Amino acid sequence: MMSRPRVYLSPPHMSGHEQAYVQEAFASNWVAPLGPNVDAFEQEFCEVVGASHAVALSSGTAALHLALLHLGIGPGDEVLVSTLTFSASANPILYQHGRATFIDSETDSWNMNPALLAETLHQRAQQGTLPKAVILVHLYGQSADIDPILAACQEYDVPLIEDAAEALGATYKGKTPGTYGRAGIFSFNGNKIITTSGGGMLVSDDEALISHARKLATQAREPAPHYQHAEIGYNYRMSNILAGIGRGQLQVLEDRVQARRANFAFYREELSDLPGITFMPEAPWGRHSRWLTVITIDPAQYGADRETVRLALEAENIEARPVWKPMHLQPIFAGYDSVGGAVAESFFANGLCLPSGSNLHPTDQARVVEIVRRCNANIHHEVWR
């Protein structure tokens, strides 16, 4: 049998609008980490998400690092962060030699549990050692319950940074997650809902924060002709070529959300009758972009665990991925505190991300469904034989 082309979890999906902007950059010789596409992308992005200021950067991770730098996170400083996430949410804390403390998830959105956060802040306040920041992650295209989290942060005057790398296109009470805290970060990595091949954005309503981040990202040059430096600088700016790709992608963001939500609807239609399969819920406070369709598989009911299903898909050259391994279980974060963790652990144990690209072909999606169903049917066949 001829092997079929690989079906990826979440591949890039160009719109056709990108090349005009890229060509313009070549034609005008703005082949540099600044230029008209960068300025326009920042402005257009602000309009789409409803932020006042933005700086386009080389990655979402760089955006998070700059937010921590601006807030003065340094050696030994505690930062509270969601445990159920990708390591990029927490690595910048270690870049600064800070101390990460991981907060467990709730079950409505799978994101940070607001009650656990409030309790932790309360307890820290009583000890007289408040954390320097909170990093709130909006996972898989869905916003956390921001209001109570923001209220807790405001009560103790701890700045909130939102990691919305996976949540562009989602809403929280009609607004974009990532625009509620002191700063928000977005990612345009190749697997995200829109991409620049690699890139990120830092947004804030605080103009001073964004202009400081812009300076740090440009080698921290002071305004002097002889290249004066009074702070440690970074080379974190986005190229004008890539910003052109971003402008083309931004135009189709809403189409991409609709396509991803349609993927989800099809999976739910075709799989929700199976025993032990449940879908990541859509919390009542907003729209889930369904960047990824995520299911949990109860092995006792389904007769197969998520790893069996993942390997069955892999055998047919289809990429599926376990839910993020929580940060409090990662060797690199051994020795850091965590508050709870059992909820995130159960999502990791049973959770599986299915192919979710906005360009996923219906034939391929039907194959995914068939293979997942077969894992259940095999077991029943054996039981009944």
Phi and psi torsions of 187, nearest 5°: -125, 145
374 vs 385: CA distance, rounded Å? 16
Based on CB atoms, which residue is closest to ligand PLP, 37 or 85?
85
Query: What's the closest the beta carbon of residue 60 comes to ligand PLP, in angstroms?
Result: 3
Residue nearest to ligand PLP (CB): 60
Q: Residue from 22, 54, 56, 88 that binds ligand PLP (CB under 6 A)? A: 88
The maximal CA–CA distance of the chain, rounded, in angstroms, is 82
Which one-letter amino acid corresponds to residue 63?
Answer: A
The region of 86-94, 111-119, 223-231, 374-382 touching ligand PLP under the rule CB under 6 A is 86-94
**What SS3 state is found at 110?**
coil
From the list 60, 244, 248, 357, which residue makes contact with ligand PLP (rule: CB under 6 A)?
A: 60
| Calculated CA dihedral for residues 309, 315, 321, 323, nearest 10 degrees | 20
Would you say 176 or 187 has its CB closer to ligand PLP?
187
Give the pairing type, strands 293-297 and 277-279: antiparallel
For the bound state, the minimum distance from the C-beta of residue 3 to ligand PLP, rounded and expressed in Å, comes to 29
Strand order, beta sheet including 351-354: 277-279, 293-297, 351-354, 321-322
Q: How far is the CB of 291 from ligand PLP (least distance, A)?
A: 9
Backbone dihedral angles phi then psi of residue 160, each to the nearest 5 degrees:
-105, 125
Closest to ligand PLP by CB, 304 vs 323, is 323
Residue from 21, 30, 45, 86 that binds ligand PLP (CB under 6 A)? Answer: 86
The span from the first CA to the last CA of the chain, in angstroms, equals: 30
Bridge-partner residues for 183, per DSSP? Answer: 161
| Smallest distance, ligand PLP to C-beta of residue 127, A | 29
Q: How far apart are CA 174 and CA 163, in angstroms?
A: 18
Site stretch for ligand PLP (CB under 6 A), options 59-67, 102-110, 206-214, 352-360: 59-67
Q: Residues touching ligand PLP: how many (CB under 6 A)?
A: 14
CB of 159 to ligand PLP, least distance (A): 18
Taking the complex as a whole, how short is the minimal distance between the CB of residue 68 and ligand PLP, in angstroms? 13
Of the pair 61, 83, the CB lying nearest ligand PLP is at 61
Q: From the CB of 223, what's the least distance to ligand PLP, in Å?
A: 29
Single-letter amino acid, residue 123: Q
Q: Which of 10, 61, 296, 358 binds ligand PLP (CB under 6 A)?
A: 61
Output the six-digit token pair for 279. Answer: 């879908």
* Residue 22: both structure tokens together: 């890229």
Which lies closer to ligand PLP via its Cβ, residue 40 or residue 63? 63
Nearest to 134, CA basis, from 180, 82, 72, 66: 82
Provide the 3-class DSSP secondary structure of residue 219.
coil
Among positions 89, 105, 109, 293, the unique one binding ligand PLP when judged by CB under 6 A: 89
At closest approach, how far in Å is the CB of 40 from ligand PLP? 20
| 83 is an interface residue for ligand PLP by CB under 6 A | no
Q: How far is Cα of residue 334 from the mean position of the Cα atoms in its chain?
A: 23
Round to whole Å and give the CA distance between 215 and 231: 10
Give the binding range for ligand PLP (CB under 6 A) out of 6-14, 83-91, 270-278, 349-357: 83-91
State how far the Cα of 99 lies from the Cα of 78, in Å rounded to an integer: 5
Q: Binders of ligand PLP among 324-383, rule CB under 6 A? A: none
Answer positive or negative: Cα dihedral of 357, 361, 365, 370.
Answer: negative
Phi, psi of 175 (to 5 degrees): -115, 170
Q: Which stretch binds ligand PLP (CB under 6 A): 82-90, 103-111, 212-220, 340-348?
A: 82-90
Site for ligand PLP in 181-220 (CB under 6 A): 187, 189, 200
Shortest Cβ distance from residue 206 to ligand PLP (Å)?
21
83, amino acid identity? T
Cβ atoms of residues 101 and 338 within 8 Å: yes
**For tokens 């082309």, what's the residue?**
5
Q: Which of residues 147-186 bind ligand PLP (CB under 6 A)?
A: 163, 165-166
Closer residue to ligand PLP (CB): 137 or 375: 137
Binding site for ligand PLP (CB under 6 A): 59-61, 85-86, 88-89, 137, 163, 165-166, 187, 189, 200
